[in-house]
Structure 1
Amino acid sequence: MTTGKPGDRPRIGFLFNHDELHQVAHTAPIISALQRQAPAASVEVITSSERQAEAVRSFLDPACSPPLFRSIRPGRGARLVEALLGNMVPLNRLSSLKRATSLFRQYDALVVPETTTTFLKKNGGLDRPALIFFPHGAGDRSIGFSPEIARFDHVLLPGAKTRDRMLAAGVIRPDHHSIVGYPKFEVFGDRPPVRLFANDRPTVLYNPHFDPLLSSWFRFGEQVLDHFAQQSAYNLIFAPHVMLFQRRVLASVEHRLLRFRQSIDPRYAALDHMHIDTGSPRSVDMTYTNAADIYLGDVSSQIYEFIRTPRPAIFLNSHAAEWRGNANYEHWTLGPVLDDIADLAPTLADVTPLPETYRAAQAQAFAYSFDMDHRQPPSHRAAAAITEFLMRPKPDQPGPTG
């Protein structure tokens, strides 16, 4: 492996630097696989909160030696200012990165599931460590193909769809990415569904995103909850993106928009056919996508986890999107799209059983989004890709000689 000095033991850090836990499952399963495949390397974990550290530990193989954990908790000033700003600016993440710059220089590579880390390239001017990115999800939103991705040294991808769009956007090159599959499925995909209701009604999962422009919650959310509260044909799981209820003010840098998030009337949680979860670990471990019969949402990448088994899906167009032929809404071809909540009841009746056209579209979309190589788990493929990348000679280093 390429290291800082000849004879050095390679150091690879897995960085988890977010307020919530939804990114952990995308890279944490790789840690133990990398320890096995690269025993000469020092594989370490860097977190910005004890919650992150505890979540990472849950993915580690007890047969492997525990990796070293390091903390980069943000400074008190950044935490205070972010709180005063309603948590709408990621000052904690940026503070953690800035305070730990000297630590990061000691690593040959950092493996990360989000793009904030490119701050190190822009503002720290670091040429070490190499930054290796695995996106936390396989969705279609334009932010998933941001120019920031071009700053990474290597990109791990779940499947051909993400690769093709990133190549078309010019944010990856043919020689600096690897398709490795989806480690989250390795951990959660085959777990049996959890029984959440004491009845046999079909269960709908309402899973709005947090983006203040794209999310259906701001326009339709209360109407959706009211609809299900007043009927007796369906159960409802309300499990939005975990970030929706972590912030009172939702900000979108991409869309230059701020919105205040309304609260939920507690009467819904008291109903035995409605399950309300605004951010528990079940929101991110596929409990609800495995348990639901019908998906109701907008732009969350969880739709692609849901269609691992083809099932009815309905999408809410709350922002008058011109979505047809738009790659950012490709998942809206997997079920009916509603512009008006008045159409929800008849549409629920129409999508069950799942029409064959949607079944075929979902199967095709899933295969394009996720490379499911059953010969080896995604974590092993990702570990092999990381190892291969780090063994490449750097531009100023000679290659192997004959």
Structure 2
Amino acid sequence: MKPDRSKDPQRIGFLFNHDELHQVAHIAPIISALQRQAPTAQVEVITSSDRQAEAVRQFLDPAAPLPQFQSIRPSGWSRMIEALLGNMVPLNRLSSLKRNAALFRQFDALVVPETTTTFLKKNDQMARPKLIFFPHGAGDRSIGFSPEIARFDHVLLPGEKTRDRMLAAEVIRADNHKIVGYPKFEAYAPRPPVKLFDNDKPTVLYNPHFDPLLSSWFRFGEQILDYFAKQNDYNLIFAPHVMLFQRRLLASVEHRLFRFRQNIDPRYAVLDHMHIDTGSERSVDMTYTRTADIYLGDVSSQIYEFIQKPRPALFLNSHDAKWRDNPNYDHWTFGPVLDDVAGLGASLDAASPLSDLYREAQTRAFVHSFDRDDDVPPSLRAAAAIVEFLDLA
């Protein structure tokens, strides 16, 4: 006879199952808020590394009970095989999900910031756990609206833009989602600005993505670093997506493309007006999107964090995209789009001050992408949505 669990407190896990830390701030602020709103629930944290666990702790309310932490470290075999395959396939994540399936079934719900977790639903449409998804970013790439999202039981969303596109893609329904705002903004709001350079020159943030088709790094990266090294008018922060320099061979499942990434010439790192960061915590905590005066990039969702304060932006079309009127490139309406880097200097000089046209485009897109409630922060809104969905009240 199966035990009667109807009177047991619901067990809710916040699962962090990615190699890097860029997803943590999207759902970690919700943990303490959920503990306050559902004091009878058993809220736990599941991580795959000590770095993740430490990152999560930064967002916990010290006045709230410390949730139980569990580790699902990838096995040595999966780490070795993934390394042999050039880290192209997320074997560590998939292996951790498979090996810990019995653990996950003990939870009533898992809150996650990425779609790999739907692996749990593919071969076993189990009732436990229910999967609750919050996307790690509010960008425009088509992968953000993939069919995998339809496997989630409930989806929390930052704003109307993501909701509208997911509804159009039929990966969410009218009754299985909730707009709650963007907890990452709340998480880093108290942090003071950082001064990186001992001068008053305008600072450019070059923020290429890692996707081997869409990223400007593979075609233009070396030319861009060389340009900034040889000029004296601008500072440069080179802070790509953290996954770009975690792998030597990068793969795009979406575009079925593989590409080797070239290394950075060490001479750039010693220049006073260039700051190179290929994956520190500052790459994910909005330090650079807040510090920079001008954004230079391609398809990273960090542009939406940058336009929290409207500023000049330039975009690099390194893959000959037909981007006009394409929703996957809506952010390319925030500033000029360059098909090559021959005129980069002139484009930078012309970018400031920000024109009314681009300011209006950025402001309009920001409001459409991030729902704001001045009285209730996103973490509390997300927690309330989880309470409602799981009937925790």
Q: TM-score, normalised by structure 2?
A: 0.98
- Report deviation, 1:275: 0.1
Corresponding residue for 2:363? 363
Shift of 1:126: 2.2
Give, in whole Å, the separation in 2 of the partners of 1:32 and 1:179: 19
1:239-388 superposed matches below 5 A:
239-388=239-388
Opposite residue 324 of structure 1, the aligned amino acid is R
1:30 matches 2:24: no
Alignment partner, residue 131 of structure 2: 131
Per the alignment, residue 39 of structure 1 pairs with 39
Q: Distance in 2 between matches of 1:190 and 1:303?
A: 20
Cα offset for 1:334?
0.4
For 2:22 and 2:147, locate their aligned partners in 1 and report how far apart those are by CA, in whole Å: 22
Structure-2 separation of matches of 1:206 and 1:161: 25
Name the SS for the 1:374 alignment partner.
coil
RMSD: 1.3
Whole-angstrom distance in 2 between the partners of 1:23 and 1:187: 12
Counterparts of 1:363 and 1:8 in 2: how far apart (Å)?
Answer: 47
Q: 2:218 maps to which residue?
A: 218
Q: Match of 1:211, SS?
A: coil
Matched, 1:68 2:68: yes
1:105 corresponds to: 105
In the alignment, is the contact (CA less than 8 A) between 1:121 and 1:127 conserved in 2? no
Deviation at 1:350, TM superposition (A): 1.0
Conserved in 2, the CA contact under 8 Å of 1:192 and 1:290? no
- CA shift, 1:86, in A, is 1.1
Deviations 1:205-250 (A, max 9, x none): 0000000000000000000000100000000000000000000000
Residue range with higher mean Cα deviation, 311-320 or 49-58: 49-58
CA distance in 2, matches of 1:274, 1:364: 32
- Matching residue of 1:206: 206
CA distance in 2, matches of 1:110, 1:64: 20
Secondary structure in 1 aligned to 2:381?
helix
* Distance in 2 between residues matched to 1:378 and 1:67, nearest whole Å: 20
State the Cα distance separating 1:123 from its structure 2 match: 2.6
Inter-partner Cα distance in structure 2 for 1:124 and 1:346: 56
Give the CA deviation at 1:6: 1.6
Paired residues in the alignment total 391
Q: What's the secondary structure of 2:205's corresponding residue?
A: strand
**Comparing 337-346 with 139-148, which one deviates more in the overlay?**
337-346
Q: What one-letter code is carried by the residue in structure 2 that aligns with 1:257?
A: L
Alignment correspondent of 1:400: none
Equivalent in the alignment of 1:396: none
CA offsets, 1:282-317, max 9 Å, x none? Answer: 000000000000000000000000000000000000
Alpha carbons 2:207, 2:298 under 8 Å: kept: yes
What is the DSSP-based 3-state SS (H/G/I as helix, E as strand, rest coil) of the residue aligned with 2:196? coil
How far did residue 392 of structure 1 move?
A: 8.6
Inter-partner Cα distance in structure 1 for 2:188 and 2:343: 33
- Classify the secondary structure of the residue corresponding to 1:184: helix
Gaps in structure 2 of 5+ consecutive residues: none
Tell me which amino acid in the other structure corresponds to 1:390.
L
Structure 1: which 5+ residue stretches go unaligned? 394-402
Aligned to 2:91: 91
Contact 2:236 2:275 in 1 (8 A): yes
| CA distance in 2 between partners of 1:349 and 1:199 (Å) | 18
The 8 Å contact of residues 41 and 392 in structure 2, kept in 1 or not, is answered as no
SS of the residue 1:251 aligns to = strand
> For 1:189 and 1:330, how far apart are their aligned partners in 2?
26
Where does 1:142-157 land on structure 2 (aligned, <5 Å)?
142-157=142-157
Secondary structure (helix, strand or coil) at the match of 2:382 reads helix
2:126 and 2:199 map into 1 onto residues whose CA distance is 57
Moved more, 347-356 or 211-220: 347-356
Distance in 1, matches of 2:344 and 2:380, equals 43
Amino acid in structure 2 at the alignment position of 1:33: A
Please tell me whether the aligned partners of residues 87 and 249 of structure 1 are also in contact (alpha carbons under 8 angstroms).
yes
